[in-house]
């Protein structure tokens, strides 16, 4: 279905005509969710941390649940609380550290916490058991990422000890891969072996947590043997490639479009400076447009940014300002104030992807979409009306 015909079902903040905005295709997210289930042949926990990678926590979560999703994962307890406040009652796993002050709330709201530290385990247990409550936890094992997790030599004893603490139920066990998106598979193979070792030792003392999980998006494609009971997918859910070495099949669809509008069209003489600090000078008489997107929207203040206008790709000239920037209209005729500009997404057969921008910014596509500011209204639509 053509983008112009898509029905916008939900406009947060109810802007009939926003200045700069995101359009989020929830059909694409549902399609990607189903593809991940089909390929991994296991349950898919939708990773919706960081405002669903900029796409919108609540709307993305609801779309995933409508498509059959059962598990959500977030980085912080505050994100899980926000889901519960919006009546999303499905299992949620907090992947990061949660302070013991939150454990009663977690137990009440049935929010699963990640546990990897003995002192924290005691603090959780004291709090919950003192109130006759139980918190569900997933134990994190550090198999080589060296970020969070119990180290393998202590893991079995730690889990045996935690399983005897009142007020804590071990519901899951997991690990996280450091290099699953790279062509060199040795590190991940070693991480899987270490994780398997812990699982085997645990089963020899009769412990097998209900949910065993390890894979992120990249591992779903590169390490199908590590699918276990669940995979935790973020980037692929949004239709974005895990890395240049781990590209998604073309059945996946990117969901996010970033748009703004032309606010001024101006003809300048040769030798005129443009914007703060005159980091651009016209080399001849030039037409320049101002557009309403800036670094406060997540459009970074670097040189070499590009934009699509009237089906042509053009360059940002001069410094990106907080709320605006200027683009060259070289070879683009008939531009008027109010015309749509695409920074991420498609326009008349041309496309600018989050991956293009990541390359230009010297970063990863994850950072590009997570950087999309809260002030950008998000317009949600279903491109495929049969779904949903």
Ligand X SMILES: *Cc1c(COP(=O)(O)O)cnc(C)c1O
Catalogue the active-site residues. 49, 276
Q: Phi/psi at 163 (nearest 5 deg)?
A: -65, -15
Instruction: Report residue 244 as tokens.
Output: 């240049």
Do the Cβ atoms of 366 and 181 come closer than 8 Å?
no
Within residues 93-122, the interface with ligand X by CB under 6 A covers 95
Query: Which residue minimizes CB distance to ligand X?
Result: 234
Whose tokens are 């895990």? That residue is 242
| Six token digits for residue 78 | 């505050």
d(CA 92, CA 89): 8
**Token pair of 214 as six digits:** 């390890």
Computed on alpha carbons and rounded to an integer, the radius of gyration of the chain in Å comes to 24
Binding span for ligand X by CB under 6 A among 7-15, 80-88, 212-220, 374-382: 212-220
Stretch near ligand X under the rule CB under 6 A, chosen from 105-113, 123-131, 214-222, 351-359? 214-222
Handedness of CA 16, 22, 28, 33 (dihedral sign): negative
What Cα–Cα distance (Å) separates residue 95 from each residue in 78, 124, 141, 214, 364? 12, 16, 12, 12, 21
Least CB distance to ligand X at residue 337 (A): 39
Of 26, 29, 165, 233, the one binding ligand X (CB under 6 A) is 233
| Least Cβ distance, residue 98 to ligand X (angstroms) | 14
Name the minimum Å distance from CB 216 to ligand X: 4
User: Contact between 47 and ligand X (CB under 6 A)?
Assistant: yes
Per-residue binding letters, 234-253, with ligand X (x by CB under 6 A): xx------x-----------
Q: How far is CA 319 from the centre of its chain?
A: 28
From residue 122 to residue 161, the character string flagging contacts with ligand X as x (rule: CB under 6 A) and all else as - is: ----------------------------------------
Asked if residue 217 binds ligand X (CB under 6 A), the reply is yes
> Tokens representing 332?
């683009």
Nearest residue (CB) to ligand X, 21 versus 174: 174
Q: Which residues bind ligand X (CB under 6 A)?
A: 47, 49, 95, 176, 216-218, 232-235, 242
């Amino acid at each position: 279905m053509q983008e112009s015909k898509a029905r916008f079902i939900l406009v947060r903040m109810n802007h009939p005509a926003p200045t700069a905005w995101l359009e989020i295709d929830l059909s694409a997210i549902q399609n990607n969710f189903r593809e991940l289930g089909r390929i991994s042949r296991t349950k898919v926990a939708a990773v919706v941390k960081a405002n669903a990678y900029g796409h919108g926590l609540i709307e993305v979560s609801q779309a995933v649940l409508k498509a059959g999703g059962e598990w959500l994962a977030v980085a912080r307890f505050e994100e899980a609380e926000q889901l519960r406040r919006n009546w999303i009652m499905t299992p949620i796993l907090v992947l990061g550290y949660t302070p013991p002050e939150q454990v009663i709330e977690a137990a009440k709201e049935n929010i699963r916490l990640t546990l990897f530290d003995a002192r924290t385990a005691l603090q959780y247990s004291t709090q919950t058991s003192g109130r006759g409550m139980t918190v569900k936890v997933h134990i994190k094992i550090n198999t080589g990422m060296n970020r969070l997790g119990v180290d393998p030599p202590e893991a079995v004893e730690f889990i045996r000890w935690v399983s005897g603490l009142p007020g804590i139920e071990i519901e899951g066990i997991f690990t996280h891969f450091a290099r699953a998106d790279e062509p060199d598979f040795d590190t991940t193979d070693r991480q899987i072996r270490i994780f398997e070792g812990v699982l085997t030792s645990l089963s020899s003392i009769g412990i097998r947590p209900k949910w065993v999980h390890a894979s992120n998006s990249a591992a779903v494609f590169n390490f199908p043997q590590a699918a276990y009971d669940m995979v935790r997918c973020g980037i692929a859910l949004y239709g974005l490639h895990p890395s240049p070495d781990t590209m998604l099949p073309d059945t996946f669809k990117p969901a996010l479009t970033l748009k703004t509008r032309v606010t001024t069209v101006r003809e300048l003489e040769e030798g005129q400076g443009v914007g703060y600090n005159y980091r651009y000078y016209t080399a001849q008489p030039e037409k320049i447009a101002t557009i309403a997107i800036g670094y406060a929207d997540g459009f970074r203040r670097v040189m070499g940014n590009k934009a699509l206008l009237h089906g042509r790709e053009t360059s940002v000239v001069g410094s990106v300002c907080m709320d605006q920037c200027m683009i060259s209209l070289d070879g683009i005729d008939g531009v008027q104030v109010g015309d749509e500009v695409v920074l991420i997404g498609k326009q008349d057969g041309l496309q600018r992807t989050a991956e293009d921008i990541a390359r230009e910014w010297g970063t990863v596509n994850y950072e590009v979409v997570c950087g999309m500011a809260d002030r950008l209204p998000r317009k949600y639509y279903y491109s495929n009306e049969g779904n949903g």
